[in-house]
Structure 1
Amino acid sequence: MILSFLFFGNKPDEKWQLCRQMGITDAIAKLAPELTGDPAIDDYESFARSKAIFESNGFKLIGLEGDQFDMTRIKLGLAGRERDVERYQRMLENMGRLGVGLLCYNFMATGWYRTDINLPERGGAVVSGFSLEKARTEPVSKLGTFSEDQIWDNYHWFIEQVMPVAQANGVKMALHPDDPPVSPLHGISRILTSADAIRKALSFSDSASHGLTFCQGTYTTMNENVHELIHEFGRQQKIHFVHIRDVTGTPENFRETFHDNGPTDMFKMIRAYRQVGFNGPLRSDHVPTMAGESNAHFGYEMKGNLFGIGYIKGLMDAAVSIENF
């Protein structure tokens, strides 16, 4: 397993230095124009410049995460989606040319969402959470309302357009489930809200490039058996990337926790990844905001990541040691 870190943009700062100090050498990045100030990475030269920045700072850029440009028309089946998917195909071709082999993507038209961002955690740390009751009091999206059938049709069309290009360019596309796993949200249906839905999504292509970002926290929120799913999807070689975090609650009402303060037996999960032969990247995800931090980027402040990365490194080392004991 490869311990990686998610970088927002391509501008080195203290986080980059801290990652080097923690022994992180592999980078996952979101390189959207609003983060880099450069053209979107369907432009080869823009992409190559970002990759060179990571390399000059001691990191191997192994993957991308999130929407690298606006995906709304693709996800909602709006006019212009054909032009957008052509850009997506060019991005996949650029990934192949530059040797960036992983793409963590989602099909949430309105992204991951929380109703609360200042819930108390251990020692005065704060975390995010979700309440469906609160969400139902919020306005319907300006984009309108969309049924689950519509979103499924759009996803199927998308896979047909991009998966052959991903396979031809040696890119693993890793589908992230919907977070929160409830539907609809603000009038827009969400389809990837259960293990059965993920199985349906995987059935749309038998390409080796078609796989998953296995987000433990989201599957925990779904009330699925995370350990069994690691074995199921892992044996099928469909886990391309792993997000490690923990939550407590139900799909309709949940909150984040520290990695060691939730319901999950994290050591058991790390051992399961080893048992199924997973050797791809994983990262700490959605961490508490700790003392002295602003919470401006809730879930992704650095002190919680320092804790999460150290905790995961310890679990990984212990898993190896117990096998060699």
Structure 2
Amino acid sequence: MILTDFLPAQPDRSWQLAKQIGINHAICKCAPELTKLAAPDNLTALRTIKDRFTAAGIRLYGLEGDEFDMQRIKLGLPGRDADIARYQQMLRNMGQLEIPLLCYNFMASIGWFRTDPAVPIRGGAISNRFRLSAVETKPIAPELQISESALWENYRYFIEAVHPIAEAAGVQMGLHPDDPPLSPLRGVGRIFNSADAFEKAMSLSSSPAHGITYCQANFRAMGEDIFSTAERFAKRIVFVHFRDVEGTREDFTETFHDNGPTDMAAILAHYHALGFNGPIRVDHVPSMAGEENAPHGYAQLGRLFAVGYLKGILDAHHIQYC
């Protein structure tokens, strides 16, 4: 497997820590509001970020998230074709720079969402929680709402436009589940919240560029058996997000990697048995003593613990990684 970490576009302490714990591959969100550069449909901007990582001895392996404003694409608004053209150019740039992975979502108007970002868990560490009962009941602005059927049509339109470009560029696109995996949310339809929905998505294209980011905690929150679901989609999984939650899609809390309900050693062994040897990264972690809980889910001490835990399991199972 390829161990990756989610790192910012500019060198900071997290880059040093990643190298010190043996992580040599980066996943990065390169949106302009984070990088202060142009979006990655600009070749020079993306090359600048890649070159920074290379100089630090880290390979920029993939991009993750919305790399520029995707609302017109997701909501099917006028101007989406221009935005899709930008997306296509980003894929070409990734291919030219040998960045082989793009983790993306199709959550419109509301992205990953928690109702309480500061829940005390083991030893006073701080995690985050989602409770549907705590979500504001008033829908968001009408122009930001969309039905599930319309979102499916917009997703199909998007996939048909971008997958030929991704395939030609040698870029694998990994579809991430909705987080939280339920619909609607404040009047916004959400469509990737069950294994059957992913089956439908995968049926839209047989391209090798069309894959899944297997965020195992999201599939668990859906109520799916993550072992059988991983087997079901084994040939389409291009990226794994390694984390855990306890609860249901309507009420769940993120856990430390070693004390949630999932047998984490068994699921890693299962991925290996299924033939997965691609990129994996630890996802949302608690904030620990002495850390600020900002941004929640991405503290450094919790990440160090999680990576060590991941590597220990891989070593115990004699699963090779780099």
Instruction: Provide the TM-score with structure 2 as the length reference.
Output: 0.97
Aligned position for 1:34: 33
Q: Are residues 1:303 and 2:304 paired? A: no
Q: Would the aligned equivalents of 1:42 and 1:88 in 2 still touch at CA under 8 Å?
A: yes
Supply the distance in 2 between the matched residues of 1:23 and 1:142 (Cα, whole angstroms).
48
Q: 2:194 maps to which residue?
A: 194
1:219, distance to aligned residue in structure 2 (A): 0.5
Q: Specify the alignment match of 1:275 in structure 2.
A: 273
Counterpart Cα distance in 2 of 1:215 and 1:50: 26
Judged with a 3 Å threshold, the aligned counterparts in structure 2 of structure 1 residues 284 and 141 are, in CA distance, closer, same or farther, namely: farther
1:141 and 1:188 in contact (8 A); partners too: no
- What does the per-residue CA deviation read over 1:289-316, in whole Å, with 9 as the maximum and x for residues that have no partner? 1111111100001011001100000011
Could you tell me which runs of 5 or more consecutive residues in structure 2 were left unpaired when the two chains were aligned: none
Q: CA RMSD in A?
A: 1.2
Counterpart AA for 1:112: W
Q: Equivalents in 2 of 1:28, 1:68: separation in Å?
A: 12
Q: Letter of the aligned partner of 1:41 in structure 2?
A: P
**Which letter maps to 1:127?**
S
Residue type matched to 1:146 in 2?
Answer: I
- In the TM superposition, what are the counterparts of 1:79-158 in structure 2 within 5 Å? 79-109=78-108, 110-141=110-141, 143-158=143-158
Task: Quote the residue 2:292 is aligned against.
Answer: 294
Identity in percent = 53
Q: Whole-Å Cα distance in 2 between the matches of residues 24 and 153 of structure 1? A: 39
Evaluate the alpha carbon distance shift between residue 163 and residue 49 of structure 1 in structure 2; reply closer, same or farther with a 3 A threshold: same
What secondary structure, in the 3-state scheme, does the structure 2 residue paired with 1:68 have?
A: coil
Give distance in 1, aligned partners of 2:75 and 2:317: 43
Aligned-partner Cα distance in 1 for 2:175–2:242: 15
* Aligned equivalent of 2:22: 23
Written as runs of structure 1 = structure 2, the 5 A alignment for 1:213-224 is 213-224=213-224
User: What does residue 180 of structure 1 align with?
Assistant: 180
User: How far off its partner does 1:138 sit?
Assistant: 4.9
How far apart are the structure 2 equivalents of 1:145 and 1:210?
27
In the TM superposition, what whole-angstrom CA distance separates every residue of 1:152-200 from its partner, at most 9, and x where no partner exists?
0000000000001000110000000100011011211000000000110
Looking at both structures, which has the greater relative contact order when contacts are Cα pairs under 8 Å and sequence separation is at least 6? 2
Aligned-partner residue type, residue 180 of structure 1: P
For residue 157 of structure 1, give the secondary structure of its aligned residue in structure 2.
helix
Partners of 1:211 and 1:84 in 2: CA distance: 22
| 1:245 counterpart = 2:243 | yes
Match of 1:63 in 2: 62
Aligned-partner residue type, residue 25 of structure 1: N
Contact map agreement 1:141 1:186 (CA 8 A) in 2: no
Tell me the distance in 1 between the aligned counterparts of 2:303 and 2:181.
Answer: 24
Question: Shift of residue 137 of structure 1?
Answer: 2.9
1:211 to partner: Cα distance: 0.5
- The one-letter code sitting in structure 2 at the alignment partner of 1:113 is F
Counterpart contact for 1:288–1:301, Cα < 8 Å: yes
Report how many aligned residue pairs link the two structures: 319
Asked if the contact 2:75/2:144 (under 8 Å) is kept, the reply is: no
Counterpart amino acid of 2:157?
W
**Runs of 4+ in structure 1 displaced over 6 angstroms?**
none
In 2, are the aligned partners of 1:163 and 1:207 still within 8 Å (CA)? yes
Q: Specify the alignment match of 2:264 in structure 1.
A: 266
- Structure 1 pair 34/169, CA: closer, same or farther in 2 (3 Å)? same
Task: Work out the CA distance in 1 between the residues paired with 2:61 and 2:13.
Answer: 21
Q: What is the CA–CA distance in structure 1 between the aligned matches of 2:263 and 2:192, rounded to whole Å?
A: 24
Q: C-alpha separation between the residues in 2 aligned to 1:54 and 1:263? A: 36
Q: Is 1:162 the counterpart of 2:162 in the alignment? A: yes
Q: What letter is aligned with 2:313?
A: L
Change (3 A) 1:147 1:59: same
Hey, what's the Cα distance between the residues in 2 that align with 1:38 and 1:157?
29
Distance 2:259 2:138 in 1: 30
Q: Is this contact kept in 2: 1:129–1:254, CA < 8 A?
A: yes
Contact 2:241–2:282 (CA<8 Å) still a contact in 1? yes
Cα distance in 1 for partners of 2:136, 2:45 equals: 41
Amino acid at match of 2:213: T
**8 Å contact kept, 2:137–2:186:** no
TM-score by length of 1: 0.96
